[in-house]
Amino acid sequence: MTKVLLIGNGAREHAIAEAIKRSGCDPRLYSYMKTNNPGIASLSHDLRLGNYDDLAAICTFAKDAGIEFAIIGPEDPLQNGVVDALSEAGFPSVGPTRSLARLETSKIFTRRLLEKYSIPGNPRFKVFDTPHAILDFLKTLEEGSVIKPDGLTGGKGVMVQGDHFSTPEEALLLCETILKTGAPVLVEERLDGEEFSLQCFCDGKTVVATPAVQDHKRRFEGDSGPNTGGMGSYSYPDRSLPFLIPSDIEDGVEITRKISEALFKETGELYKGIMYGGFMATKEGVKLLEYNARFGDPEAMNVLPLIKSDFIEVCRAISKVH
């Protein structure tokens, strides 16, 4: 019998729970959720409800259940350091430590990581702590700009010229609003192309990609509404997408491999979990939009049902201590 702790309560975690239950390893699922998801509850041997920052409660639940390893679904527990706490209690996880989760929780960290280790895929960007010189940089971005606050924004914090503002002067006002919170602001060139997502399994040394996915964030017909966390997504039978060429997938996977290596060089820690890159296929090649440190929601629902390997064996290989 394999006892697994799943943390999270969304549709993504429901897809993970189903993948766990399909395993031939005689799985017994224990779920820790912020709010009750009846679908996950129906698949669970036992569950607890609590906040994702209550690390003591999560570790106590893991100890009482006698789990082999944990799978972390959403980003909030990762930012709170749940993997670090579980590791200290003797439980490995499919999910990065708080330091490594900066790949998602700090867009500035990720941009600078690519820059430092000469990894391809970065757009032109600059980080600002004060409004000084922002307007000058904005005026050099002929294709427009993208404004990003540092930190988690639930998929709704990025502001793009043409969608959220029209002129460099309006972009400056948005930057000033972010800076007033005490956080730095990331200003990037606006990219033109088609977005795609690559969710990769990673044990810190090996990166294995799942099929490419494209999600749709905007509400309402014709993408006329505001951004959401994800209105839906699709994948394709050939593991690619209609607008991609084989080299686009290869480039995305190679960027992810290089990121995995750079993270180890930067932190001395192996990244164990899901490394989910949001990319854009442009006429200049594949560019990185951002990384997530976990499966996407809803993208997990596109790829997890397709996995023919035993999901628990995959997770066990990822979480194994090297």
Residue-level pLDDT at 214:
94
The tens-digit pLDDT sequence of the chain (322 residues) is 999 999 999 999 999 999 999 999 999 999 999 999 999 999 999 999 999 999 999 999 999 999 999 999 999 999 999 999 999 999 999 999 999 999 999 999 999 999 999 999 999 999 999 999 999 999 999 999 999 998 776 555 789 998 889 999 999 999 999 999 898 999 999 999 999 999 999 999 999 999 999 988 777 887 777 777 667 899 999 999 999 999 999 999 999 999 999 999 999 999 999 999 999 999 999 999 999 999 999 999 999 999 999 999 999 999 986 5
Residue 99: other Cβ atoms inside 10 A: 17
Do 206 and 177 lie in a common domain? no
Query: Are residues 212 and 184 part of one domain?
Result: no
What CATH code is carried by the domain that includes residue 33? 3.40.50.20
Q: Is residue 178 in some structural domain? A: yes
Q: Residue 187's Cα: distance from chain center in Å? A: 20
53 and 133 both lie in a single domain: no
Instruction: List the CATH number of the domain containing 138.
Output: 3.30.1490.20
Q: Go through 192-214 and write b for each residue having 16 or more CB atoms within 10 A of its CB, e for each that does not.
A: ebebbbbbbbbbbeebebbbbbb
Residue 31 lies in a domain: yes
Site of tokens 């023919």: 308
Q: Are residues 199 and 283 in the same domain?
A: yes
* Cβ-contact 138, 171 below 8 angstroms: yes
131 touches 172 (CB < 8 A): yes
Based on the domain organization, do 211 and 275 belong to the same domain? yes
76 is a domain residue = yes
Supply the CATH number for residue 258's domain: 3.30.470.20
Residue 222: predicted pLDDT: 77
| pTM of the complete model | 0.93
In a shared domain, residues 238 and 169 = no
If asked whether residues 280 and 230 sit together in one domain, one would say yes
Amino acid present at 201: F
Query: Residue 26 class from Cβ within 10 Å (0-12 exposed, 13-18 middle, 19+ buried)?
Result: exposed
Backbone torsions φ then ψ of 284, nearest 5 degrees = -95, 5
Residue 321: inside a domain, yes or no? no
* Distance from C-alpha of 181 to C-alpha of 320, rounded to nearest angstrom: 40
Q: What is the dihedral sign for C-alpha 108, 109, 112, 114?
A: negative
Per-residue pLDDT of 129-173, as tens digits, reads: 999 999 999 999 999 999 999 877 655 578 999 888 999 999 999
Count Cβ atoms within 10 A of the Cβ of residue 238 and give its class: 0-12 exposed, 13-18 middle, 19 or more buried: exposed
Task: Using the 3D structure, point to which of 158, 189, 220 is the last residue of a domain.
Answer: 189
Non-local (6+) Cβ contacts of 90 within 8 A are none
Domain boundaries, position 226: 192-293
Q: How many domains does the chain have?
A: 3
Judgement on whether residues 235 and 143 belong to the same structural domain of the protein: no
Same domain flag for 12 and 71? yes
> Are both 196 and 288 inside the same structural domain?
yes
**21 inside domain:** yes
Convert the pLDDT of each residue in 53-72 to its tens digit: 999 999 999 999 999 999 99
Outline where the chain has alpha helix (H): 11-21, 38-43, 55-65, 75-80, 82-88, 102-105, 107-116, 134-140, 168-179, 246-267, 300-303, 311-319
Q: Is residue 79 part of a domain?
A: yes
HSE-up of 194 (CA within 13 Å, CB side)?
A: 12
